[in-house]
Structures are given as C-alpha cells and as structure tokens.
Amino acid sequence: MTVSACNRSPLPTLYQEQRDGFVVIAHRGASGYAPENTLPAFQKALELNAEMIELDVMLSQDGVPVLFHDRELDRKTNGSGMVQDYTVEALQQLDAGTWFSEEFSGEKIPSLEEVLEWASGKISLNIEIKTEAWREDLEESIEPRVIRLVRDSEMSEHIIISSFDYRILRRLKELAPDLRTAVLYEQSQIGDKDPLTIVKELNAQAFNCSATQLTPEWMDQLQRAQIPVLVYTVNDPEVMKTLIQAGVSGIFSDYPDRLNLAVHNSR
C-alpha cells in the first residue's frame, strides 16, 4: 500500500536532528567554500553541520541525472555549450572546480546516483529538478529516473524534491505519491493564485521561495496550514535572524556555518 506523505511529517527526517524545528540547508553544498554541486562542497556542508544539502539536477544527453545548475557549461566548467548535449561520460571529463579555485582543479560533475550513495546515512537532501530536464515523453523525462534512484538509495524518508516547473512536480506525485515535494515559487506559473492554493493543488509538502519574495501574508497563511516555508539564498546573518524570528522552517545558505550561528543567536 502506498502511504501518502501527507500523513507523515512534511519535512524529511534529518540524520542529525537538533529538534529545533528549523533546518540548516547548504545551498548547492557549502558553495561559499567549494565549487557548487560537487562532492567537496557536500563534504564541507557536512563538516559545517548542515542538516540538509540542496542540489540541482539536470539530464545528460544519454538520460543520466547529473548535478549542475546552469543550462550551459561555460561559467562553471572548462567546457562550453548545453549540458544536455553531452553524454554523462563526456560531462565527467570536464573540470568543474578550477573556476572556483586552483585547489579544486579537476573536480568532476557528479551524477545523482554517486551523490545519493555518498549521502546515504549522512545527510538529508533537497533535490531540485531543473526545468531543462523535463521531456514531454515520460520515457525520456527525468522524473521516473530520479524516483528510481531515490528508491534504490533507500533514502526516500530523507529526501524532498523541489522544482520551479510544476509539470515536473505534478508528474512526480502521479508516479510516486509517497515522495515529498516542495513547490518553488514561480510567478509565471502561479499567476494570481496564492502559495497555499498551489501547494494544495500539487499535493506538495513544503513551499520554497526566495527571501525577497516572502511576505508576512504568505508566511501567516502557510503557517496556519502547517506548511513549512524554506527560503533561499541567504548569506547575511541579519537577514537570517529576521527570517528565523518570522518562523521559517529552513534557510538555504552558501555558508551553513553562518546559518548555524544565526540559529544559535536567535534562541
């Protein structure tokens, strides 16, 4: 029998639960200290006591979910052109570290499978699926592939999947209603609807938005409905403090150490 995620805690189970009702999320790993979406950034997040890692997933040409944020390779690797035009083998030959610093020269683009294997038993994940990974044809699209990898990793209880693309969120819920999802606020898709309406429509468990978008009205509405609000990307300790006091359930930061300190100072 499929157990609906709605009957459980809306947020994933954390491996290092601090029981403070707040989640310290390393944005693309501890991306202030190491190249984003790479294993060193994830290792650093763990060392800095992040409770969850957010990562971005796209599809290689041969249909493998890989970690990358930008549609094009140019800014964050020594390659050029679209990620989706490269096989996973070709992507993994690129250098995804030198752009950040020489110290990370030769760092690889990880596959989602490699990261799940690394994270299992260590740290929860927010897997953000990029809109570039959507394919009209289900067989070609990213959703069934991510679902299979998550299930195989046996980390389902420790994962939430988010997207700005509501076609992806809809499909995820159709295929795997037990997996937790979070709506990433995207004005062009939401239109005049309020966040709570869209969270309910998509049967999602959480609402993610940028710190600049969040309003007191949204916060009030979502809190009343007991929908966790996760806010990105906050690196300023004063802004962290304001948001924590406003009652957000988690913050995505490139500096999880600063965020841990802000949580401590806000108690």
> Mind spelling out the 3-state secondary structure of 117-151?
HHHCCCCEEEEEECHHHCCCCHHHCCHHHHHHHHH
Q: Which of 32, 50, 56, 132 binds ligand G3P (CB under 6 A)?
A: 56
| Partner touching 135 among ligand G3P, Mg ion, none, CB below 5 to 8 Å by kind | none
Given the residues 5, 10, 27, 64, the one annotated as active site: 27
Do 263 and 20 form a contact (C-beta atoms < 8 A)? yes
208 binds, among ligand G3P, Mg ion, none (CB under 5 to 8 A by kind): ligand G3P
Nearest approach, Cβ of 29 to ligand G3P (angstroms)? 11
Site for ligand G3P in 193-222 (CB under 6 A): 208
77 binds, among ligand G3P, Mg ion, none (CB under 5 to 8 A by kind): none
- Whether residue 69 lies in the annotated active site: yes
Q: What secondary structure does DSSP assign to 199-238, as a single string?
A: HHHTT-SEEEEETTT--HHHHHHHHHTT--EEEE----HH
Establish if 36 lies at the interface with ligand G3P (CB under 6 A).
Answer: no
Catalytic site includes residue 158: no
Q: At what angle do helices 39-47 and 112-119 cross, to 10 degrees?
A: 20
- For residues 128, 9, 124, 171, the Cα torsion angle rounded to the nearest 10 degrees is -30
Residues 251/20, Cβ–Cβ less than 8 Å: no
Residue 89 beta carbon to ligand G3P: minimum distance, rounded to whole angstroms = 25
* Least Cβ distance, residue 174 to ligand G3P (angstroms): 22
Please say which residue, 48 or 184, places its beta carbon nearer to ligand G3P.
184
Task: Quote the least distance from Cβ 192 to Mg ion, whole Å.
Answer: 25
Residues contacting residue 189 through CB under 8 Å, at least 6 positions apart = 164, 165, 166
| Residues of this chain, 223-262, that bind ligand G3P according to CB under 6 A | 232-233, 252
CB 129 within 8 A of CB 168: yes
Task: Name the minimum Å distance from CB 125 to ligand G3P.
Answer: 11
Residues that bind Mg ion (CB under 5 A): 56, 128
Question: What is the C-alpha to C-alpha distance for residues 2 and 48, in angstroms, rounded to an integer?
Answer: 36
- Residue 124: name the closest of 153, 147, 151, 157 by CA: 157
128 binds ligand G3P (CB under 6 A): yes
Q: Please tell me which residue in 14, 40, 69, 82 is annotated as part of the active site.
A: 69
Binding site for ligand G3P (CB under 6 A): 27, 54, 56, 69, 128, 162, 184, 208, 232-233, 252
Catalytically active residues are 27, 69
